[in-house]
Amino acid sequence: MDKFWLNPDLKISFLHARHLTAHFAKSFYVSASILPTDKRWATYAVYGFCRYADNLIDAPRGRTPEELFAEVEALRQELTICHRTGESEHSVMRAFAPVMSRCSMPLEYPMDLLKGVTMDMEFDRYQTFDDLYVFCYRVASVVGLMMTCVLGYKDASAFEYAEKMGIAMQLTNILRDVQEDKNMGRIYLPQEDLARFGVSEQDILQERFSPELRDCMRFQVERAHEYYEEGDKGISLLPRSSQYAISAASKIYRGILYKIEERDFNPFLGRVFVPQRKKMQILAGEVVRTKLFG
């Protein structure tokens, strides 16, 4: 096996990508731990790129919107060049570039991610679920599409299911972070759904947990579950050695929805999370499955 992550010219960048994954995506990092070694390090490179791009907007550092857009545009240009050449001197692109090349990753996937990260500067409300779907696709589904390139697949329909899994996970983020997002002036729940259930923006901004908001949250949770059900169908289309890591990621992330249900769908009681012990139980179960059936 070509141990590309140990290449002296790339090793520091891969270690940096692993650090970003461990720090910012604990559940993702835990699940990736049971991937084959080469795919695990490629996964770190993918996440490192995604996190860096996301942080450009999420950590504005006192920069103006114009300066932030310029940073994203500079990354877009670097991405275009290194996708063609397979190399980069950029701190995260240095690891991501050879992974894109090795996996024959379409340039449109990381480009769509860059479109997604700037949407938070352009929109703080979404009128319809179709509008929200575009955001979820760009910031989450394309990660699943990139990961499908990394992991390999038995049938091209795996990409369709990866898209659905990404939607499920981003909807989970939105439902988990209703309180945090409204504190930043953002309401991701579609305006049409709020109107349908009789929920006003003031109910959210002032943290009024009404029966109407409970029903709206229940509806959103059920929608997310449906996307998990669809996304999970694609796991069997991945190589056997990768299936259990993705299954673990799905179960761990879906556990957030169950935690929201346990709180009677109240989004104002602080961020929910899946305890580390539960994550390790899920992971252990998937490791056993890997040993028995891998």
Q: Which two tokens stand for residue 109?
A: 């996937």
As for how many domains the chain has, the answer is 2
Domain co-membership, 147 together with 36:
no
Q: Would you give the end-to-end CA distance of the chain in angstroms?
A: 18
pLDDT of residue 283: 84
Q: Where are the beta strands (DSSP E) in the chain?
A: none
pLDDT of residue 30: 87
pLDDT of residue 294: 53
The radius of gyration of the chain from alpha carbons, rounded to an integer in Å, stands at 19
Give the burial class of 156: count Cβ atoms within 10 A of its Cβ; 0-12 exposed, 13-18 middle, 19 or more buried: exposed
pLDDT of residue 293: 58
Domain that holds residue 31: 7-121
Q: Could you tell me the mean pLDDT of each successive run of 10 residues in the chain, 294 residues long?
A: 88 96 90 93 97 91 92 97 94 95 96 96 96 98 98 97 98 97 96 98 97 98 98 96 92 96 97 90 79 57
Domain co-membership, 85 together with 170:
no
Rounded to whole angstroms, the Cα distance separating 239 from 81 reads 31
Contact 242, 40 (CB under 8 A): no
- What predicted TM-score, i.e. pTM, was given to this entire model? 0.94
pLDDT of residue 290: 58
In a domain, 1, yes or no: no
CATH of the domain at 21: 1.10.600.10
pLDDT of residue 64: 93
In a domain, 223, yes or no: yes
Domain co-membership, 97 together with 143:
no
pLDDT of residue 269: 96
